[in-house]
Amino acid sequence: STATALSACIHNAARNGVLIKGGNYVEALAEADSLILDKTGTVTEGRPRVVSLHPTAPFTQNDIIQMASAAEEDSSHPLAHAILDYARLNGIVIPTHGMTEVVTGRGVRTTIQEDEILVGNRKYLKENGVDISELQNAIHSLEQKGEMIIYVAKNRLLAGVIGVHDALKENMKKSLNRLRHLGIDDIRLLTGDIAFQAEKVAKRMHMDDFGAELMPEDKVRTLLSMQGSGSRVIMIGDGINDAPALAYADVGIAIGNTRTDVAIESSNVTITNDDPLLIPSAIQLSRRTMETVR
Ligand code: ADP
Ligand code: MG
């Protein structure tokens, strides 16, 4: 019967590390024709590490890592982990600081004594009137290398930038090639990161399109417009910022080392061991199952 075939499929998938939360998602997986992927933690490892520190005079490398680690101490963002790991490895003492404000898709704000510390992306600093031109050469060369940049400001003056590297996941490109062979012919990257980085990753992965500097609701908007034009969309993500889109997708798939509880709860399928090749395998298995029940 159909029910038996679907539950056999779900059992099979589960044995390989793909948790499908219901028979209806087996059908949706089999019928999907489009794919949206988040970048950080989904296409990339999501385990970024600090590779360079560029202070503005009179600040030192030590100063900017101290300010950044104070601001990031209470954040669970992968970029916060990169800063805190670096501080720990280098024996940096994290200064006592005030309450931290987390600004989604932007960064974090705290105080050290009377000083306001802002740590985050370019947009966040610009919105707070911080002039970043002093470091434009360093920023440009970090961008060319494909590194992510964390900006640090003290009392609205640029104190430095921190270059962070996040490697692409080993089997993601292979996985996307297989998906294309399976007829998933609209593959898009949607990210909170800047356009330069998004474009670089999208090109390397031979994706069809990308969207950058997106907030969670922007990812949903793109998804809904694709569905509105008749696409059946799989969304793959790992973070809180992906949860709304995961919930609206025809199939929401949670993947990644940093996979948050919210992402898992909002998803219909969970990949337990972070292997991108399990995505095309799950689609093939679902299609074979649907053929037997029709
Ligand atoms: P994504 O996972 O798609 O990159 P996020 O919404 O988590 O998106 O973050 C978007 C951007 O906001 C990040 O690329 C980073 O530049 C900035 N950002 C967010 N949180 C932090 C943080 N705690 N520290 C530094 N930058 C941050
Ligand atoms: Mg992410």
- Decide: 263 and 242 in contact? Cβ < 8 Å: yes
38 is catalytic: yes
Residue linked to tokens 């005079």: 57
CATH of domain 2-45+169-293: 3.40.50.1000
CA of 106, nearest ligand number:
1
Tell me, using a 6 A CB cutoff, whether residue 216 lines ligand 1. no
Question: pLDDT at position 257, please?
Answer: 72
d(CA 168, CA 40): 9
Tell me, using a 6 A CB cutoff, whether residue 256 lines ligand 1. no
Mutate to test the pocket of ligand 1, among 36, 100, 148, 193 (most ligand atoms within 8 A of CB): 193
Q: How much of the chain exceeds pLDDT 90, in percent?
A: 87
Length of the chain: 294
Does pLDDT of 39 surpass 90?
yes
Does pLDDT of 104 surpass 90?
no
d(CA 214, CA 194): 9
Mean pLDDT of 89-94: 96
Q: 199: which 2 tokens? A: 């474009």
Does pLDDT of 259 surpass 70?
no
d(CA 53, CA 155): 19
Q: What is the DSSP letter of 42?
A: I
In this prediction, residue 32 has a pLDDT band, given cuts at 50, 70 and 90, of: very high
Does pLDDT of 49 surpass 70?
yes
Tell me, using a 6 A CB cutoff, whether residue 193 lines ligand 1. yes
Q: Where in the chain is the domain with CATH 3.40.50.1000?
A: 2-45+169-293
Q: How much of the chain exceeds pLDDT 70, in percent?
A: 99
Residue closest to 190 by CA, chosen among 233, 222, 145, 232: 222
Output b/e per residue, 206-236; b: 16+ Cβ within 10 A.
ebeebbbebebebbbbbbeebeeeebbbbbb
Question: pLDDT at position 46, please?
Answer: 85
Does pLDDT of 114 surpass 80?
yes
Mean pLDDT of 1-28: 95
Residue linked to tokens 């434009």: 136
Tell me, using a 6 A CB cutoff, whether residue 79 lines ligand 1. yes
Q: Which atom of ligand 1 is nearest to the CA of 46?
A: 2
The pTM (predicted TM-score) of the whole model is 0.83
Tell me, using a 6 A CB cutoff, whether residue 150 lines ligand 1. yes
Mean pLDDT of 250-262: 85
Distance 106 CA to ligand 1 centre (A): 6
**Contacts with 70 (C-beta within 8 Å, 6 or more apart), sequence order:** 94, 95, 96, 97, 110, 112, 117
Average pLDDT, the chain: 95
Q: Where in the chain is the domain with CATH 3.40.1110.10?
A: 49-165
Q: What is the pLDDT of residues 162-196, one digit of tens each?
A: 999 999 999 999 999 999 999 999 999 999 988 98
CATH of domain 49-165: 3.40.1110.10
- Decide: 3 and 24 in contact? Cβ < 8 Å: no
Mean pLDDT of 84-96: 97
Strand partners for 213 = none
In this prediction, residue 258 has a pLDDT band, given cuts at 50, 70 and 90, of: low
Distance 241 CA to ligand 1 centre (A): 9
Residue with the smallest CA separation from ligand 1 atom 8 is 192
SS3 148: strand
